[in-house]
Structure 1
Amino acid sequence: MSQSGLIKHDGTGKKVEISMKRLKVTVPHFDNSSLIEAYSKTLIRRCMNPHMQDMKALLYMLPRIWKVEDRVAGADLGLGRFQFDFDPEEDIMEVLKMEPFHFDYWMLSLVRWAPAVNPTYPSAIMFWVRIVGVLLHFWADVTFESIGKALGDVKKVNLDEGNVQIDGGVETTVYLRYERLFGFYKFCHSLCHDQQRFPSRPDSTERKVKEDYNDEHRNGQGAASYKAATVHGNVGNK
């Protein structure tokens, strides 16, 4: 057992620390292979900023955006996580092709379910990253794969769009643009909170973020949230 502290207010308004025992339970080993098999066609997701994302609207809207509303079952797992159970394998593959996903201006992590025990699972988000500035005489798979491997695990290269190093002793500067990246705080680049929940934000930075956000949406460049689209009858995956 271990102890943790809890702060509460007494009748006089003063803060009082209360010790609480944290109980650790060990579950005996058992054969859970049938449970694992049962979730073989499940996609599990996590809201990157659950304070700003409406779970009920999300569970309702996503199957309709995917056009599988009559073939999937969704469930809220708590703590910003949820799952969708599929039947045909083809439906899962088609949905995964649509990554990355966002809802109400904030990102969602979606993966095929696996028996993971990490408390932050799932957290992976697959992006298409456009590489801008590659010299034409290096425009080849090996170039984009080399740049991509410096960033992470390369899944695919699209030469038509210029998605994902320049070798041979030649150096140049390239720029990265994450396609369909929504909901991040520009001061610390977090996907998990906005400026209101940033613990030590400078006023000037907060003001600049709000100005950037307002300018972007005033000019019609911001994507409509799914919740807003529902109200106005205009639904689509941005």
Structure 2
Amino acid sequence: MSQSGQLGSATGSNKGKAMLLLRLKITVPRFDNSDLIKGYSGTLIGRCMNPMMQDMNALLIMFPRIWKVEDCVAGADLGMGRFQFDFDEEEDINSVLQMEPYHFDGWMVVLVQWEPIMEPNYPSSLTFWVRIMGVPLHFWADTSFRNTGEAIRAVHEIDLDGGRVRLTLDAFKPVILASSVTASVTMQAAVQCFI
């Protein structure tokens, strides 16, 4: 089913004229969709970040094999570079989500548990461990890593032993790879973040 289409065309010669695109406004009446929401809550929805280079049919076959759940999941191409996997068991969803970040055909893939979100870029969240380099040892503390990570995005978790923070980034926004950090004392450090 097509989600959008061209309903109008240019009149007369196209030479030097812009196409006129008309949109039809459609209103869906209110109805009880709670069963639909409940049914889709057991699915993962994803997006290929470079759909022109990523083979969707191969992705739908390979991901369940990589996850070792090929007998208990069904995949579907949703169009426009998006796809969905329907799982039999919630525990399989949780184990797959622990494997992030994802990539396929050399490009990133966004994969999240489905929610009833109606944003045009949904889904677009990538969760990463970001290594923070250049922190002086006398500032190697939870507070330093948390503040540095929160300058990029909300921090989910901190790994002091590895010098990293786990956070979720918007895949459509540029990644900041280096910045300066100023401490409340007279120390400055050049901090680099590596994903």
Q: Assess if the C-alpha contact under 8 Å between 1:5 and 1:17 holds in 2.
A: no
Provide the C-alpha distance between the structure 1 equivalents of 2:116 and 2:127, rounded to a whole number of angstroms.
20
1:62-119 Cα offsets, whole Å, 9 max, x none, are 1111111111111111111000111222211111111111111111111110111111
Aligned residues: 174
How much is the aligned-residue C-alpha RMSD, in angstroms? 2.4
Tell me if 1:99 matches 2:100.
yes
Structure 1 residue ranges (4+ consecutive) displaced by more than 2 angstroms after TM superposition: 3-8, 13-21, 164-168
Seq. identity, %: 58
Match of 1:65 in 2: 66
Provide the C-alpha distance between the structure 2 equivalents of 1:136 and 1:7, rounded to a whole number of angstroms.
66
Pairing 1:120-131 to 2, within 5 Å after superposition: 120-131=121-132
Pairing 1:114-153 to 2, within 5 Å after superposition: 114-153=115-154
How far the C-alpha of 1:56 sits from its partner, in A, is 0.4
1:43-63 Cα offsets, whole Å, 9 max, x none, are 100111111100000000011
How far the C-alpha of 1:20 sits from its partner, in A, is 4.7
Higher strand fraction (1 or 2):
2
Provide the C-alpha distance between the structure 2 equivalents of 1:168 and 1:17, rounded to a whole number of angstroms.
56
Match of 2:35 in 1: 34
Q: Show structure 1 runs of 5+ residues with no match.
A: 179-238
Tell me if 1:158 matches 2:159.
yes
How far the C-alpha of 1:33 sits from its partner, in A, is 0.5
What SS does the aligned partner of 1:95 have? Answer: helix
Match of 1:174 in 2: 191
Q: Assess if the C-alpha contact under 8 Å between 1:101 and 1:107 holds in 2.
A: yes
Higher helix fraction (1 or 2):
1
Provide the C-alpha distance between the structure 2 equivalents of 1:38 and 1:84, rounded to a whole number of angstroms.
12
Tell me if 1:84 matches 2:85.
yes
Q: Assess if the C-alpha contact under 8 Å between 1:46 and 1:82 holds in 2.
A: yes
Provide the C-alpha distance between the structure 1 equivalents of 2:145 and 2:108, rounded to a whole number of angstroms.
25
Provide the C-alpha distance between the structure 1 equivalents of 2:39 and 2:47, rounded to a whole number of angstroms.
20
Letter in 1 for 2:99: M
Provide the C-alpha distance between the structure 2 equivalents of 1:175 and 1:38, rounded to a whole number of angstroms.
43
Change (3 A) 1:166 1:66: farther
Provide the C-alpha distance between the structure 1 equivalents of 2:80 and 2:191, rounded to a whole number of angstroms.
39
Change (3 A) 1:76 1:4: closer
Provide the C-alpha distance between the structure 1 equivalents of 2:158 and 2:21, rounded to a whole number of angstroms.
52
Q: Assess if the C-alpha contact under 8 Å between 1:4 and 1:19 holds in 2.
A: no
Provide the C-alpha distance between the structure 2 equivalents of 1:46 and 1:78, rounded to a whole number of angstroms.
10
How far the C-alpha of 1:15 sits from its partner, in A, is 6.8
- Normalising to structure 2: TM-score of the pair? 0.80
Q: Show structure 2 runs of 5+ residues with no match.
A: 1-5, 166-180
What SS does the aligned partner of 1:145 have? Answer: helix
Match of 2:175 in 1: none
Tell me if 1:21 matches 2:38.
no
Match of 1:43 in 2: 44
Change (3 A) 1:18 1:162: closer
